[in-house]
Amino acid sequence: MIGTPNNGRLRLAFSLVNGSQDLGPESTPVSHAGSECGAIEFTREDVEALVSEKMKSKNKFNYKERCENMMEYIKRLRLCIRWFQELEGEYAFEQEKLRSALELTERRCYEMEMALKNKDEEMNLIILELRNSLASLQEQLVKEESEKKAAMDSLVKEKEARDSIERTKASLSEELDKVRAELDSANQRIASINDMYKLLQEYNSSLQIYNSKLQTDVTAAHETIKRGEKERLAAVENLHNLRGEHKSLQDQLTSSIASQDGVMKQKDALLNEVACLRMELHQIKDDRDQYQQQAQSLAVEASKYKELATNSSGLEEKCLSQGNQIQILHDQLAVAERKLQMSDTFALEKRKEFEEQKEIIEELHKCLEDAEFKLIEGEKLRKKLHNTILELKGNIRVFCRVRPQLADDSSSNHGKVFSYPTVMEYLDRSIDMAHNGQKHSFIFDKVFMPDVSQEEVFVEISQLVQSALDGYKVCIFAYGQTGSGKTYTMMGKPGQPDEKGLIPRSLEQIFQTIQALQHQGWRYEMQVSMLEIYNETIRDLLSTNRDSSRFENGVTGKQYIIKHNANGNTQVSDLTIVDVQSSREVSFLLDRAAQSRSVGRTQMNEQSSRSHFVFTMRITGVNESTEQQVQGVLNLIDLAGSERLSKSGSTGDRLKETQAINKSLSSLADVIFALAKKEDHVPFRNSKLTYLLQPCLGGDSKTLMFVNLSPEPSSAGESLCSLRFAARVNACEIGTPRRQLNIRTSNSRLSYG
């Protein structure tokens, strides 16, 4: 009797019974749910035991017992058969599934092969096109280089011609001076003759009453006067003739000089060609003479042969051959004459081509000179118009920027705080703010919506940065509450080139422009310094001595003093100044300064700037060709964030920092309001920040303020205060910007004004 199918031990799967392989590990396991077999599995031993099992009974005549055993045996056989059928169906289903998967895989492989083939063909076509374009570009490059070389050669020759013209002009000017000297001497003689005439008239009147015999002397004197008049008229006519001859000589000289070079060049080329042709003609004439001599000798021999024709038939044959040779020589002579005519026509064609090429070279040279002149004039006009536009826009300009919503901003927004009117007159210049049920409207020079990129923001200030290279003082500073995006606007995100701030982009533009201006003769020197104002104390961020910049009880080890000179420049004593020559060097200094800057955590911002950061670059430029010298200053300032004590939750050192920040920003507001009211006294000395920025706010600098706003409704009160302050700043009027043309001395220090 067979007990339970598994018999309490681990059995092999039934796939081994019929010799097939097990399903792979990724195949769907066999499910027995809903089948009468349940989770029962049969092995080879179970099936063989079931088939070879024999009915046993104690009494072979006990049919009832035999029937019961048979019924149990039949039941187990049916169970085994049903299990076989289910297993066979599952294998058939799995086989069909694998077949469909195989077809799908084959179809995908075919599609991938076709796509790969198409891509390969496309790449071959692209490579062929690129090769063709590369070959054409190389040919064009070679052609342009040859044209450039020819143009340069012609330019050198024209310069030599100009030098000769200048020398001739100098000699003519010397001759003109000689003629003028002769004219002056003639005028003096005429004046002396006139004086003599007056004296003689007086003498004649006095002598007429006393002696009539002297009448002959009077007539002689009259004759002398007439001769003097004739000499004067002759001198005047000679002078006019000399002037006309001088003018005609100048005209002839200019025309002859203009045509002399071309004629000489044509003459040299033609002389070379004529020499070659003459040599060929001489050779052909020598050949012709030789052939003629041979023909004459042959003719003499032929006459002799004719006389002897009656004597020998061999002489006749020789005469015939000599005649053939003569004909061949005549044909060769005709061919030589045709070659000479072809060489003449070829020389004419080459001469025409030479003249055409010469005209083309002259036109190209004129175009090159016009282009260089237009380039220089255009650069001058650009600088003039650029600075005029910035002056018309106002010396203190205000830009407004609203940062986008961040992931950690509060989600309990009760509506949008800011809106942007679409009226064409105020498009991209106005902003509306809703606060406590009221609507507040403001107009600035530019308003940036939250979706504006860093590159678009920099485009608006790029011309202002250019002013620093043109010799002006430029100041750009970011203002706003904590967490409004000031540091992001000025510095950007480190490690993300697309989100670089205004300071890195300004440096890239400056160094790119310096490279572009080198071919115009400009050479620049740059100096950089970086400092922060922390708790009303100046701190050098580039100092190599870390102990000197360490704070002890709110005071640094080294004290820095701000001084203003008579030229409106600002100097900070003992401040580290670094000479830089590339944007990479400045980026390294910026990273070093960022690590040294004071930051802290408040309830409003995880990494809040607790100090005012001031980046200064002084630019000194010299044009070697025009001897023009410019000196500009670029100040880029990231102010600390303004915040209310109740909202920031500052205590201890953070409380002192917040109080110092708010005090300096309040001093900045007092300075702006005093400038707006045009008061006699402006309180620049109330804080280190305003005293440092005195030339930028009240002097001759071009100043721009970025007011940064947070879109959170909880910050609406701070945003409204920032907007009102920015509106007051936008209404300020300061002095006209002045271009710095002073020469930098050897011991000059970096200024902030």
Is 708 in a helix, a strand, or coil? strand
The answer on whether 332 is annotated among ligand-binding residues is no
Rounded CA-CA distance 58/65 in Å is 9
CA dist 700 → 48, 396, 472, 650, 694 (Å): 110, 11, 9, 39, 10
Element holding 334 (H helix, E strand) = helix 313-393
Is 415 in a helix, a strand, or coil? coil
Rounded CA-CA distance 500/477 in Å is 16
The answer on whether 327 is annotated among ligand-binding residues is no
Q: Per the structure block, which two tokens stand in for 582?
A: 């590339």
Nearest 5°: phi and psi at 702? -90, 115
The answer on whether 736 is annotated among ligand-binding residues is no
Q: Per the structure block, which two tokens stand in for 153?
A: 């050669």
Q: Cα 109 to chain center, whole Å? A: 47
Rounded CA-CA distance 244/238 in Å is 10
Instruction: Count other C-beta atoms under 10 Å from residue 559's C-beta.
Output: 10
The answer on whether 641 is annotated among ligand-binding residues is no
Rounded CA-CA distance 483/410 in Å is 13
Residue 399 in contact with residue 705, Cβ under 8 Å? yes
Rounded CA-CA distance 643/489 in Å is 19
User: Which residues on adjacent β-strands are paired with residue 552?
Assistant: 555
Burial level of 405, CB count in 10 A (0-12/13-18/19+)? middle
Q: Per the structure block, which two tokens stand in for 109?
A: 């492989």
The answer on whether 481 is annotated among ligand-binding residues is yes
Residue 639 in contact with residue 608, Cβ under 8 Å? no
The answer on whether 482 is annotated among ligand-binding residues is yes
Helix 653-677 / helix 716-730 crossing angle, nearest 10 deg? 30
One-character DSSP codes across 496-557: -GGGB-HHHHHHHHHHHHHHHHGGGTEEEEEEEEEEEEETTEEEETT-S-GGGG-EETTEES
The answer on whether 345 is annotated among ligand-binding residues is no
The answer on whether 487 is annotated among ligand-binding residues is yes
Residue ranges at the known binding site: 480-487
Residue ranges at the known binding site for ATP: 480-487
